[in-house]
Amino acid sequence: MEQNWITSDDILGKDVIDSTGTFLGVVDKLFIANNPLEIAAISIDKGLLEKGLVVSKTYIERVSKYAVFLSITPLFLLQNKRVYTATGHYVGQVSGITQNESKKNAFDSIIVKRKSGKKEYAVDEIAQIAKSIVLK
């Protein structure tokens, strides 16, 4: 008989990888909705002295033998990223994020700490987000 289900043992303790391939931590808890009975979210243990993270099932792309893969990069990963202009000049580091109120895990702008103070950049001013952020 072919089984079309998995157990909690298939998920708990698995690495959690975001959409860019970044290791976020390990699954330490499942949140189960009552009606209908289904997994609603997972809790991610990010390590000793790190605040955990809860991710909705809507952001889980797939569960493999060794890891849980997300379809997103959580916004908290933007914090402290280095910001550059399109020509490669260093601007500063992300010190804050203005989250979009209507969309989960979306942002309207980033606040960059610069030598001369802070400056806010709207999401449409950003060309690329990877290991660093590049402005248009």
Alpha-carbon span 23 to 67, nearest angstrom? 10
Closest CA to 26 of 63, 62, 68, 64: 68
Give the pLDDT confidence of 35-73 residue by residue, as tens digits: 888 889 999 998 877 777 889 898 999 998 899 999 988
- Enumerate the domain spans of the chain: 8-70, 75-135
pLDDT tens digit sequence for 119-131: 999 999 999 887 8
The per-residue pLDDT for 39 is 86
Strands (E), 11-130: 15-17, 23-33, 38-45, 53-56, 60-63, 67-70, 82-84, 90-99, 107-114, 117-122, 126-129
According to CATH, what is the number of the domain 75-135? 2.30.30.240
62/7: higher pLDDT: 62
Which residue is it, tokens 């990888």?
17
Nearest-angstrom CA–CA distance, 107 and 36? 31
pLDDT digit string, tens, across residues 81-106: 999 999 999 999 999 999 888 877 78
Q: Find, among 124, 120, 100, 102, the residue nearest to 112 by Cα.
A: 120
* Total-model pTM: 0.69
Question: Is the pLDDT reported for residue 79 higher than 90?
Answer: no
CA distance 124 to 108: 8
From the options 2.30.30.240, 3.40.190.10, 3.30.930.10, 1.10.10.10, give the CATH code of 8-70. Answer: 2.30.30.240
